[in-house]
Structure 1
Amino acid sequence: MTVTAISAGDIAKKVISKQSFFILDVRNEDAFEDWKVEGENIQYLNIPYFDLLDGVEEVLDQIPTDKDVVVICAKEGSSIFVAEMLAEEGRNVHYLKGGMKAWSEHLEPVKMGDLKNGGAIYQFVRIGKGCLSYMIVSDGEAALIDATRMTDVFIDYANELGVTITNVLDTHLHADHISGGRKIAEAVNGTYWLPPKDATEVVFEYEPLEDGRTITVGNTKIDIQALYSPGHTIGSTSFIVDEAYLLSGDILFIDSIGRPDLAGLAEDWVGDLRETLYSRYRELTEDLIVLPAHFMIIEELNEDGSVAEKLGTLFAKNHGLNIEDEAEFREMVTGNLPPQPNAYQEIRRTNMGQIVPDDDTQREMEIGPNRCAVR
């Protein structure tokens, strides 16, 4: 029987289209429970690699023969070894090329819609990490928002579209993943924007995202003025694009709201979070399409793999937007904080430019699920 590699992109397409398949994950149990490939129609079996060194005969009856089987490990090597043993027992199997490292880094581009005066907006879904980035294209120019460290993906995509990246923006100083914004801006000789209240400790030059600034991309205006939106961080800034889309950063998600504690100031910032969600956002038109910087669970993906919902729908259905009592809101937020993201202090320092880890270290720093939301 055969062993074939399957890419993270192919797995992403299976997840988005809700295909049924089987995963044999041979990482240690704690790693599997913390973070895995998720999908609505996936069956799982987690057996650590070291428990299979003597053979796979005892687990064969737990592995189906009527659906695709994918063996997954951290980096690829162990999954190849186990897949080859399964093939020797007469099974056709795949292994995830590059392992969970590749799954963490894969970006799936989705076109969100056309803009009124020409151009379009694209969402890049980092499906294994829950990060969402955006490219706004208009009249031969492009702006990137909340770009991840896989910088070549964005630059190559802009080249495919035949546009020049002129502006790169971060909605806030990220703590769960390493931003690629500044690196991309340097590579394309563009302008890098960052909220100044989040940038008091950065060691590089940037253009401040402040009230009253309007950034123009081709024929499209990104209005900054009314959308200073603190709460996840003190500098968090939201953007309205084309009077149709609300890029909410890590303040508002589809099924949850942002956590205010990643700088150790939950009690100080929870009031800002409530003010943003319950006052500033309430002044906006409910027809805006909310495009967050993260998603929490795979069920938040739409049929096309995108993550988006009308603001009015979130006002009606998102529990974090429907707690009238302020004390109850404070308790809900500060009492339901998940574990801190892995290496989040080092990630913050990297995004400030204070440390410059090598590529392998950056990958290790980001390993694990997204943890930017209040549960």
Structure 2
Amino acid sequence: MSQDTAVKGISVKDLTQKIIAGDRVFILDVRNTGDFDDWKVEGKNVEVINKPYFDLIESVDPIMDQLPEGEPIYVVCAKGGSSEFVAEQIANKGYDNVYSIEGGMNAWSEHLEPIKIGELTNGGAIYQFVRIGKGCLSYYIESNGEATIVDTVRITAPFEQFIKEHNVKLTHVLDTHLHADHISGARAMAEKYGATYHLPPKDAEEVTFSYTPLEDGNEIKVGDVTIKAVYSPGHTIGSTSLIIDDKYLLTGDILFIDSIGRPDLAGKAEDWVADLRQTLYQRYKELADNLIVLPAHYMGINEMNEDGSISKSLGNLYDENHGLNIHEEDKFRKTVTENLPPQPNSYQEIRETNMGKITPDTDKQREMEIGPNRCAVR
């Protein structure tokens, strides 16, 4: 293979920025078909085809007629090794712009892309950290030299880098609820920086560590900004939303842009569906329509704004979100108990990890989290 046709690498950060920008992206996924069907790279202008690596070991001829000419080809596998091999074979066929996605789907699952949401009234800003490969959304709020993080994911290095670059003190870390689809990094961040860790007490009855209760009506000061807690059960019995600067409503996993939270991840769908309805149809109705909803997850790439952020006003969601417009109580109950996607991979182990009951190593934690976001009612 000549140097001119050598395979190149592309980082998941660079790939993410291409997808957010709306660039045309063609991906050959060489994982097993079952893994591909469960979870893949998605984007508004992304085309993905699947051909397992084992079908391409001897020759890449079976997929050559499906590859575009004159544009980059990105090859992905689970960890980055198989994709590099396949990309080399395609480059040997005379294709110039062939890339192996570095770190594969493991790296894709763990990348966090910070996007500025807006300025705060008395200075400072709020940022959304988009975990594009998992659909998780975390929030970083800073004001007057202090910062807080809401719904921190397991991968904490990007937050640590932000804190260092912005030269702020992390004073508070909050989880809106006990997460079941990803491992929280909140306790680790609180311990490292000496910050206060807040968790809703009704979700914390089985936790093995100390925490500060996050309860309805609590006000937390971060620099010159105030965070107000609003009890909003339904996804979990303790789910608590946060109003930031009287502008932003962090809804956790209760309300999404295109769907609503599922009430079954603790095995109590029938018990919690009434709480979910009361939160969505009464508690949130009492809030200002112009609050910008910032959820803890998103379901699909179609929910992204042009800058890659996930947000919409509460008033718009009451107009557009089907889950907020099921007026018959019986129909609502049926919808949220019968239209549930498969439960998240290893969700019970993830809950136990977030309770402090088990402490899996890093490789096990990564394995537990592999797969798509499944926190919403379809």
TM-score between both structures, scaled by the size of structure 2: 0.98
Following TM superposition, the consecutive aligned residue runs of length 4 or more in structure 1 with deviations greater than 6 angstroms are none
Q: Is the 8 A contact 2:231 2:241 kept in 1?
A: yes
How far does residue 57 in structure 1 lie from its aligned partner after superposition? 2.2
Secondary structure of 1:276 counterpart? helix
For 1:133 and 1:289, how far apart are their aligned partners in 2? 15
Question: What is the 5 A alignment of 1:314-325?
Answer: 314-325=317-328
Aligned to 1:8: 12
Q: Letter of the aligned partner of 1:235 in structure 2?
A: G
For 1:228 and 1:188, how far apart are their aligned partners in 2? 27
For 2:70 and 2:261, how far apart are their aligned partners in 1? 41
Q: Is the 8 A contact 1:2 1:91 kept in 2?
A: no
Q: Is the 8 A contact 1:3 1:94 kept in 2?
A: yes
Aligned to 1:121: 126
Q: Deviations over 1:61-91 (max 9, x none)?
A: 2111121100000011100110111111111
Q: Is the 8 A contact 2:19 2:25 kept in 1?
A: no
For 2:217 and 2:87, how far apart are their aligned partners in 1? 57
| Equivalent position to 1:102, from 79, 95, 107 | 107
Aligned to 1:73: 77
Question: What is the 5 A alignment of 1:7-86?
Answer: 7-86=11-90
Secondary structure of 2:240 counterpart? coil
The yes-or-no answer on 1:175 pairing with 2:146 is no
Q: Letter of the aligned partner of 1:9 in structure 2?
A: K
For 2:20 and 2:279, how far apart are their aligned partners in 1? 32
For 1:42 and 1:233, how far apart are their aligned partners in 2? 34
Unaligned segments of structure 2, at least 5 residues? none
Secondary structure of 1:238 counterpart? strand
Q: Deviations over 1:85-134 (max 9, x none)?
A: 11111112001100000000000000000000010000000000000000
For 1:147 and 1:38, how far apart are their aligned partners in 2? 23
For 1:316 and 1:163, how far apart are their aligned partners in 2? 39
Secondary structure of 1:62 counterpart? coil
Aligned to 2:363: 360
Question: What is the 5 A alignment of 1:170-209?
Answer: 170-209=175-214
How far does residue 242 in structure 1 lie from its aligned partner after superposition? 0.2
Q: Deviations over 1:25-57 (max 9, x none)?
A: 000111111100001212222000000011112
**TM-align CA RMSD:** 0.7
For 2:89 and 2:143, how far apart are their aligned partners in 1? 52
For 1:258 and 1:326, how far apart are their aligned partners in 2? 16
| Equivalent position to 1:370, from 349, 369, 373 | 373
For 2:369 and 2:67, how far apart are their aligned partners in 1? 31
Q: Deviations over 1:326-350 (max 9, x none)?
A: 0000001101010000000000000
Q: Deviations over 1:239-272 (max 9, x none)?
A: 0000000000000000000000000000000000
Q: Is the 8 A contact 1:254 1:309 kept in 2?
A: yes
| Equivalent position to 2:151, from 140, 146, 152 | 146
Q: Letter of the aligned partner of 1:195 in structure 2?
A: P
Q: Is the 8 A contact 1:191 1:207 kept in 2?
A: yes
For 2:197 and 2:188, how far apart are their aligned partners in 1? 9
The yes-or-no answer on 1:90 pairing with 2:94 is yes
Unaligned segments of structure 1, at least 5 residues? none
For 2:212 and 2:234, how far apart are their aligned partners in 1? 21
How far does residue 2 in structure 1 lie from its aligned partner after superposition? 2.3
For 2:62 and 2:36, how far apart are their aligned partners in 1? 21
Q: Is the 8 A contact 1:256 1:320 kept in 2?
A: yes
Q: Letter of the aligned partner of 1:97 in structure 2?
A: E
Q: Letter of the aligned partner of 1:27 in structure 2?
A: R
For 1:153 and 1:251, how far apart are their aligned partners in 2? 26
Q: Letter of the aligned partner of 2:270 in structure 1?
A: E
How far does residue 212 in structure 1 lie from its aligned partner after superposition? 3.2
How far does residue 318 in structure 1 lie from its aligned partner after superposition? 0.1
Secondary structure of 2:309 counterpart? coil
TM-score between both structures, scaled by the size of structure 1: 0.99
The yes-or-no answer on 1:159 pairing with 2:169 is no
For 2:240 and 2:216, how far apart are their aligned partners in 1? 9
The yes-or-no answer on 1:215 pairing with 2:220 is yes
Q: Deviations over 1:112-163 (max 9, x none)?
A: 0000001000000000000000011000000100010111111111111111
Question: What is the 5 A alignment of 1:185-334?
Answer: 185-224=190-229, 227-334=230-337
Query: Percent same amino acid among aligned pairs?
Result: 63
